[in-house]
Amino acid sequence: MEQDITIKITDREGVAHTVLAPTDMAMNLMEVVRSYELAPEGTIGVCGGMAMCASCQCYVVSATELPEMQDDEEAMLSEAFYVKDNSRLGCQIQITPEMEGLEVELAPES
């Protein structure tokens, strides 16, 4: 049974996009941003989702409960620019039914 969830992504220009994300395709947030072309090609997901760059950093603005940060994500964010308390790497956030209503803002390109 296919289940799409609604998430809100504010792009780097400050424009909010409400998008549908499939929960049955093992996609992550960075891939959703790319599939909707909410960031210019080559400016997001540069490392291919390995938590080895911070190009998909985003700020989580909703109170959505997210999976805990793993060491490699934490290490990457400790070296990234524009990091805030609510920063996460989009590639590390899997799209699941629990993410319904997630709201994020893309961090500035560094």
pLDDT band at 53 (very low <50, low <70, confident <90, very high): very high
DSSP labels for 56-110? TEEEE-S----PPPPHHHHHHHHH-SS--TTEEEGGG-B--GGGTT-EEEEPPP-
Q: Is the pLDDT of residue 1 over 70?
A: no
pLDDT, residue 40, reads: 94
Query: Percentage of the chain with pLDDT > 90?
Result: 95
Using alpha carbons, select from 92, 35, 25 the residue that is nearest to residue 58: 92
Using DSSP's 3-state secondary structure scheme, residue 30 falls into helix
> In this structure, how many other beta carbons lie within 10 angstroms of the beta carbon of residue 46?
14
Averaged confidence pLDDT in the chain:
96
